[in-house]
Amino acid sequence: MLELDPDLEVVFFDASGTLFDVRGSVGEIYSRFARRHGVEADPAVVHQDFLRAFRRQPPMAFPAGTPRSQLLQLEYQWWRKLAREVFADADVQRFDAFFAEVFEFFRTRDAWRVFDDVAPALGALKAKGLRLAVISNFDSRLEDLIRVFELDRFLEAVHYSTRMGAAKPDPAIFRAALRAHGIEAHRAMHIGDSLSADVEGATSAGIHAVLLDRLGNTIRMEGVRRVVGLGELL
């Protein structure tokens, strides 16, 4: 059980991998949509190619204050470039149609599953008087997912990198969230499943950090608070 700091006011959560995760795998989903366009691709290979291409992409962040219409285009092109690289060796007829379909699919609940401990944990923390929000390396589709999974009833705000002007682990995204909530760093805690993006990023901004290690695969490290489920926050 994790002991919460008595001066804690706001708890920030990562989104993908923390509150919800892809249903199946990215490789399976991309391969399924590619098949509809006449391309057979091994889901495992596509998944690995996706991860490699994702790591090569620039941070998923654009200048803060970018008009929404322009932001949507920038987000779309960021993901299109990634998908184009993943299928560089495949002859995907009507690539733009294929990509538009898979891009929109990831806006829907069918592409994701919410972890069972999320609603109970968020509800209990909110009942304690804590303010809750999300800080995520994501795009504007996150707003749709938060609504469709009815997590907005718990959250005060959703901060995502494409709109905030910085992506985790850059401390700038955490500092921007702190300013938005009008709180000092020592009164905030951030929980996420990435040691680099979530724990190191939040810590560099002066925020208390907790690693969510659902599979228990991370070696315990001195100074890193760790939980294997959100129920430990209660």
| Sequence ranges of the domains in the chain | 10-19+115-233, 23-110
Residues with Cβ < 8 Å from 223, sequence gap 6 or more?
none
Query: Quick one: tokens of 20?
Result: 């919800």
List the chain pLDDT tens, one digit each, 234 residues: 677 888 899 999 999 999 999 999 999 999 999 999 988 999 999 999 999 999 999 999 999 999 999 999 999 999 999 999 999 887 777 899 999 999 999 999 999 999 999 999 999 999 999 999 999 999 999 999 999 999 999 999 999 999 999 999 999 999 999 999 999 999 999 999 999 999 999 999 999 999 999 988 876 777 789 999 999 987
- 16 DSSP assignment: B
Helical H segments across the chain, by residue range: 26-36, 43-56, 68-86, 95-105, 118-127, 141-148, 161-164, 171-181, 201-204
pTM of the model: 0.94
- The CATH number of the domain covering residues in 23-110: 1.10.150.720
* Domain 10-19+115-233 classification at class level: alpha beta
Residues with Cβ < 8 Å from 166, sequence gap 6 or more?
59, 61, 172, 173, 176
